[in-house]
Amino acid sequence: MSEGKKPGGAKKSSGRGQRDLRVRVKSAKGRKLSSTLWLERQLNDPYVVRAKREGYRGRAAYKILELDDKYRFLVPGARVVDLGCAPGGWCQIAVERVNALGEKSGKKIGRVLGVDLQEVDPIAGAEVHQLDFLADGADDQVKAWLGGRADVVMSDMAASASGHKGTDHLRIIALVEAAAQFAFDVLETGGTFVAKVLAGGAENEMQAMLKRNFRKVVNVKPPASRSDSSEKFVVAQGFRGRDGEAYEHDDEAED
């Protein structure tokens, strides 16, 4: 037997006790290197693997799950609006947490309403509509669908990438500000607003606006958010009401 070989011709173990199970993707003709690297990252992402195993529509589901584990806003009986809900992972988590299917005996039954510019495949326990939340009357339409105001408005939306970091940052801040204004129109007093933002230097005005209208505003990066991503999430709780800017500034803020 030659040195360094095991019976059957297998190479010696590296000493780590197990094989390197990382999936590597070979470059294919006509496919960009960036696409190959993205595919390799997806195949090796534990959250992607977990989402497939647990039936969620994407790894983003775990971001809202982790945020709710910490701040507890998706409670049984809550009425939730998910802006830009495609592909539906956040709605799936909300359905479970607010008991929209009535599967938790003795608990209040909540409502989950998802809206998106594009058509979204049906989500068990959620009501999904194709709607531009920026359109005139969208807030009234959502309240009509809900039969009242919402307890939670959440958004995982991101503006289309331009390839220019500064421009993309400004675009997503503008989108978050628009989502916040929508939330002011549909939230119940005491409600919660959750949205994705990008770390940068242009969100001070947006943060100040939220602090005027909510009693507690925190900025957090959940574990499911990739470490190499500049995204973070703002969680604003204790909505003061549509005229919140008239309140004294007594909010609790946290970076």
For the chain, the first-to-last Cα distance in angstroms comes to: 63
Question: How many Cα atoms sit within 13 Å of 41 on the Cβ side?
Answer: 10
Whether 139 has a binding-site annotation, put simply, is: no
Smallest CA-to-CA distance from 32 within 22, 40, 44 is with: 40
- Catalytic hit among 11, 29, 32, 196: 196
Please report the beta strands in 46-132, taking only residues with DSSP state E, as ranges in sequence order.
79-83, 111-116, 127-130
Give the position of tokens 């470059």. Answer: 27
Smallest CA-to-CA distance from 54 within 67, 65, 44, 70 is with: 65
Return the H-helix or E-strand segment holding 139.
Answer: helix 138-146
Whether 136 has a binding-site annotation, put simply, is: no
Whether 145 has a binding-site annotation, put simply, is: no
Is 26 marked active-site? Answer: no
Catalytic residues: 196
Q: Which residues are annotated as a binding site for S-adenosyl-L-methionine?
A: 88, 90, 116, 132, 156
Q: Which residues are annotated as a binding site?
A: 88, 90, 116, 132, 156
